[in-house]
Structure 1
Amino acid sequence: MMTRTLTVALACAALGLASHAALALESDASQPIEIAADQLDLDDNAGTAVYTGDVDMQQGSMRLTAARVEIERNAQGEVSTVTAHGSGSERAYLEQKPSPDEPVAKGWGDTVIYHAGERRVELIDRAQLHQGGDTFNGAYVEYFLDRRQVQARSDDDGEGDQRVRMTLTPRNDQ
């Protein structure tokens, strides 16, 4: 276990992850990224890392769990995309605190993609987002972290029941 943790820490350092926010509050950028997985495939030249097997990734207030997580960095060495995949009935899961005064936002999908530069999350297939007391479900849910905007779509092929569904909770501004 200690060797796996050390290997993951070295892989994060090689990818330049420790100095960049990945799915976290702006203030979490200085927090270390900790990843536990059964396997790591790192290609430093290509700027990719692929973690498989019960992946658990944390940085500050952010947590991501999935069967497989792929991390890509851009030419400047910054994290550009984090893609998480569920397995079978288990969906990928993401939670993060959008700002210090807001509750944790939680999202699920067969695939979860985080676009770091845009601070945008895509939840794909069996998608679900809990933001405050509100919930959004559908085949595809997109969440813009900084703007607090949500876009959702139903299943395009009409099979299954992945219509867009929302539950909006009244806000008490007292």
Structure 2
Amino acid sequence: MTRTSLAPLSTLVVIGLLLGSAQALALEGDASAPIEVEANQLDLDDREGTAVYTGNVDIRQGSMQLTGDRVEIRRNDQGQLSQATATGERAYIEQLPAPDEPMVRGWGRTVIYHVAERRIELIDRAELHQGGDTFDGGYLEYFLDRRVVQARSDAEGVQERQRVRMTLEPAKQGGQ
């Protein structure tokens, strides 16, 4: 397992803001922007606290986007968002953290955001990119508050191991 601390990736709070988490940080206008959802189908179960969007799902709010073949949103007993799961051949999340920073992008066959833990999982063919910095593996886990990435070559339920790879761009020196 590889463990790396990354300050620039602390802005990977796409789904938190996307789904109304007031504690998340991002572009100032993102939290107040309207949420736009496109899908082929919606199955909503108020009693169970779930909403399942299927068929080319595209959710956007400001600079943020979450896509997948299927997106399931779960709420807890108090009606608060507890988990969002996007699945598909290449489920995707992105966010522009600040006007002068590069877009943060993440992919996997499964993307899971655990709201209470403020944790994002990218599973199976997982990738996380910001500028020239990239992480690839079978499983990537990103802890928003601690700014920690954990990467593994395999994930539960995944047939083949996918070696962990990391590329970090050197920090630019002042004036260069």
TM-score range, shorter-chain basis?
Answer: 0.7 to 0.9
Relative to structure 1, the CA distance from residue 84 to residue 34 in structure 2 (aligned partners, 3 Å threshold; closer, same or farther) is same
The residue type paired with residue 128 of structure 1 is E
- 1:79 matched residue in structure 2: 81
Report how far residue 75 of structure 1 moved.
Answer: 2.4
Does the aligned pair in 2 maintain the 1:24–1:61 contact within 8 Å? no
**TM-score (ref. length: structure 1):** 0.77
Q: CA separation in 1, counterparts of 2:173 and 2:76?
A: 42
- 1:11 matched residue in structure 2: none
Report how far residue 102 of structure 1 moved.
Answer: 3.4
Q: CA separation in 2, counterparts of 1:39 and 1:116?
A: 24
RCO higher in structure (CA 8 A, sep ≥6): 2
Is the deviation greater in 126-135 or in 72-81?
Answer: 72-81
Relative to structure 1, the CA distance from residue 104 to residue 18 in structure 2 (aligned partners, 3 Å threshold; closer, same or farther) is closer
Report how far residue 77 of structure 1 moved.
Answer: 1.9
Per-residue CA distance 1:123-146 (angstroms, 9 max, x = gap): 001101102321101000011233
Give the total of aligned pairs.
Answer: 155
- 2:13 matched residue in structure 1: none
Is the deviation greater in 116-125 or in 158-167?
Answer: 158-167
- 1:8 matched residue in structure 2: none
- 1:64 matched residue in structure 2: 66
Give 1:13-162 correspondences, 5 Å limit.
Answer: 20-21=20-21, 25=26, 27=28, 28-86=30-88, 90-99=89-98, 102-155=101-154, 160-162=160-162
- 2:169 matched residue in structure 1: 169
Q: CA separation in 2, counterparts of 1:159 and 1:48?
A: 29
**TM-score (ref. length: structure 2):** 0.76
Structure 2 unaligned residues grouped into runs of 5+? 1-16
Does the aligned pair in 1 maintain the 2:123–2:155 contact within 8 Å? no
Is the deviation greater in 23-32 or in 60-69?
Answer: 23-32
Does the aligned pair in 1 maintain the 2:19–2:81 contact within 8 Å? no
Tell me which protein shows more helix as a share of its residues.
1
Is the deviation greater in 20-29 or in 144-153?
Answer: 20-29
Report how far residue 19 of structure 1 moved.
Answer: 7.6
Per-residue CA distance 1:69-96 (angstroms, 9 max, x = gap): 000112232211110001xxx3101112
Relative to structure 1, the CA distance from residue 18 to residue 146 in structure 2 (aligned partners, 3 Å threshold; closer, same or farther) is closer
Tell me which protein shows more strand as a share of its residues.
2
**Identity between Structure 1 and Structure 2 (%):** 65
Does the aligned pair in 2 maintain the 1:24–1:97 contact within 8 Å? no
